[in-house]
Chain A
Amino acid sequence: MRKVVQSHATEFALLAVIVIISLFLSIATDRFFSLGNAFDLLNTSSVNIIFAVGLLVVLIAGGIDISFAVAASVVQYVAALLLGWMGGGGWISGLLIAGALGVLLGAVNAFLIHKFRIISIVATIATFNIYFGLLMFFTRGVSIYNLPDWLTSRVILFEHEMADGSWVEITLPVLVMLICVVATWVFITRTTTGRQLYAFGDNPEGARRFGINIGAMQFIAFGWLGLMAGIGGLIQAHYAQEVVPNALYGRELDVLAAVVLGGARLGGGKGSVLGCVLGVLLISITQNGLNLAGVSPYAFKMIVGAIILVAITLSNTSIEKLLPFMRQEEGRK
């Protein structure tokens, strides 16, 4: 048990913070601790979790991406236009189009980073501006409300009537999110390519000496994030039932904070899917709780920022320092 706690210190620290905040919110508000609210949280966090597991892969490979959220906006918009032009389409063609467009935009980042040796943060700040600029220029900021029916109609996977007559439900975004989470987990922990990404992020020179194809690593990492951004973009359009060009603008920093909160290291080689999911959930729970507690939305950012600081500090402090009894056991060894 001690070994598990030590090797997953970040995840346990996050879980502890989530439990503490949840306990506090359960007492402070009467609506927080309910099945309906838990499901709401899942439904609303799904898109961010999809983005987060994608970004995780790039961080593990030692890169960073600022452009994925506006890339998702571009994908939404272009996919909506293409689907309209095709005369509707369906979930399969929709996901294929969105995924392919996302991979394409991710590959542009990988190309710039690999071919011209541009540092990933600079390259993606540039593409962030280019993608968003092109989108606003060509759309003139006009939203699309006229989406295909299949995309806007809610898909309920599970519903249950509670004793008080209210309905709780789990919707399609949660299923897509689960698939993305499991796929990413399998990819980065169970495939040789995933482990090569870790090695590349951990020690690029070491990986190069093993003959690992550095260019391929960049394309795979940014391609995976692009895929997740594309899927996340389509799901966000489905959830919002509209495509607003600047709807996802600014989302990149929220997701980045959540992923780093989850233990991924800027610089590569470290990070887990579980930590990533917990990171997003911690921020969602905090916002949700503040909402229920009737705190002014203007104060959200400030409080979320403080929570991020506290959680990062906790997870960077060694478990021995937090729990002195574990140090004693270590000493006996």
Chain B
Amino acid sequence: MTGRESAEGGQKPLLSLRNINMTFGGVKALKAVSFDVLPGEVHCLAGENGSGKSTLIKIITGVYRPQDGAVIDYDGQTYSHMSPVTAQNSGIQVIWQDLALFPEMSVAENIAFQTLLGRWPRFVNYNSMREKAIKALARLGVTLDVDRPLKDYAIAQRQIVAIARALVGEAKLVFMDEPTASLTQSETDHLLDIVRTLSASGVAVVFVSHRLAEVLEISSRLTVLRDGALVGVYPTAGMTQSRITELMTGKTFDQTVRARNVDANPVVLEVEGLSRPGQFEDISFAVRRGETLGITGLLGAGRTELALSLFGMLKPRSGTVKLQGKLVQFSSNRDAIAAGIAYLSEDRLSLGLIQPQSIADNLVIASLDRIKDGGLLSDVRKQELVARWIADLGVKIGQQGDAISTLSGGNQQRVAIAKWLATDPKLLILDAPTVGVDVGARAGIFDIVAKLADSGLAIILISDEVPEVYFNADRVLHMAQGRIVNQFTPSDCALRDIEAAVYA
């Protein structure tokens, strides 16, 4: 709470919150939080999952009503709480993490959606909607076919559509909740440029991101929350990633390169000239027992397609795959699982875990054969298996029967890893294992990965965050446009060498 008035040089805040308290079912989600945003600034809101960031955003945008005593000063007016309509009408716009877009509707309708609102029915003016959409996109320096349905566009463009929508609403203050979570580096760079454009045109942006490098790059000030309480407000200049992590978690982490030499170990997987035209070409590499092989590259480099081919879900056109010296050809992922390959999907929320089902059911889904007793599934065996993995991986749960959706991102990811470990694999493929996982929890996940490697598991770690593979893998392959273009050994090179190659 220090320096609130000092850093701004007397500039009057656009938004100023005081004494914000919020309780959900007896749990204090926000404790006497204050928060200021200056006109036209890029302000970062940092904190781990559950620290109260989303709750704070929902209070400012009127989705939640704070407890009595709250003061919200916005643009010269004082409110005790907001409503969604007041917030929108006075220029507060949110770009939600899930974007809240309408995939079946056209780009123009998505951008100019506000013109469709209002209590009484009116005739739709498609021409004015198109004009508004084109104008908003032009302000962002983007051209899209506004007549096409949004579902034709990829996530990066949808993000831009969501931002353009905020512009149509005459935004003065835009909240962006994890806007880069599913973007590649070049898309992220483009997005950050757009944020700078917005800020330069006088729109204040509150940026929420787990990627601290971006936070440092884009914002001028930083507010940190921890466990629903304000830690402090800091100028970004002079901050480092590790300092922010410390503030967010209250703990210190140090990152060291883990790479070891495992050349003496036997080869587990050997890939020769694997190709699937249009996705990857002529891929050859080997992974040894106890080795963690990192694969990095921009999104669309063919990493995930390669992984899916190894896992039997896509069919390569040519090339060979040998598992422990034996030539294998999978006709489905069931064969791959039986042969000892496990694949942790990049999209944990929709593909990796079945959200409404229990922790126990999610954990055993890939290894039902192991909990059979006399041909039928045995609850006792299930509980034993689940208890073992929960303990092994240090997953924090209430009851085995709780829905998986009640767990934090980091704990969900641990369950997802446990699910695959329960199949007793020889090779574990981790595809973007830290997407949507807090910084604090990330370290925990990589501790598990290191332990697994030490126990002899061969691991392929796929990530578009270069530091992740640099610090955690023994070797790093760089894929670009479907080919392996570089190989690095983290113990012999610097992080920036790999980054320079990947982002070149």
Contact = CB atoms under 8 A, between A and B. Distances in A.
B118 A199 contact: no
B124 interface: yes
Nearest to A202: B102
Interface stretch (B17-25, B109-117, B203-211): B109-117
B218 interface: no
Interface of B: 63, 84-85, 88, 94, 96, 98-105, 109, 113-118, 121-124, 148-149
A211 B89 CA distance: 12
Contact of B104 (A193, A196, A269): A269
Interface of A: 7, 189-196, 198-199, 202-203, 205-207, 209-212, 269-270
B102 A212 contact: no
B282 to A, nearest CB: 22
Nearest to A270: B104
A144 B118 CA distance: 46
A179 B118 CA distance: 27
A209 B102 contact: no
Given A211-B84, A211-B88, A195 B109 contact: yes
B100 to A, nearest CB: 4
A332 to B, nearest CB: 15
Contacts of B109: 195, 199
A43 to B, nearest CB: 32
B117 A210 contact: yes
A212 B124 CA distance: 16
Given A190-B124, A192-B122, A210 B104 contact: no
A198 B113 CA distance: 12
B105 A206 contact: no
Nearest to B103: A202
B103 to A, nearest CB: 6
A202 B85 CA distance: 21
Contacts of A203: 100-103
B104 A198 contact: yes
A211 B83 CA distance: 9
Nearest to B99: A206
16 contacts: A7-B148, A191-B123, A192-B123, A194-B121, A195-B124, A203-B103, A205-B98, A205-B100, A206-B101, A209-B63, A209-B84, A211-B84, A211-B85, A212-B117, A269-B103, A269-B105
A36 to B, nearest CB: 39
A210 B121 CA distance: 16
Contacts of B124: 189-192, 194-195
B96 to A, nearest CB: 7
A199 B123 contact: no
A193 B114 CA distance: 12
Instruction: Give the residue among B85, B104, B117, B124 with the most A Cβ atoms within 10 A.
Output: B104
Contacts of A190: 123-124
Contacts of A269: 102-105
A4 to B, nearest CB: 11
A193 B121 CA distance: 5
Contacts of A189: 124
A192 B122 CA distance: 5
Contacts of B99: 206
Nearest to A269: B104
Nearest to B149: A7
Contacts of B113: 199, 210
Contact of A202 (B84, B88, B104, B121): B104
B106 to A, nearest CB: 9
A124 to B, nearest CB: 23
A177 B85 CA distance: 39
Nearest to A189: B124
A192 B117 contact: yes
A203 B102 CA distance: 6
A199 B150 CA distance: 12
A206 B99 CA distance: 8
Contacts of A212: 117
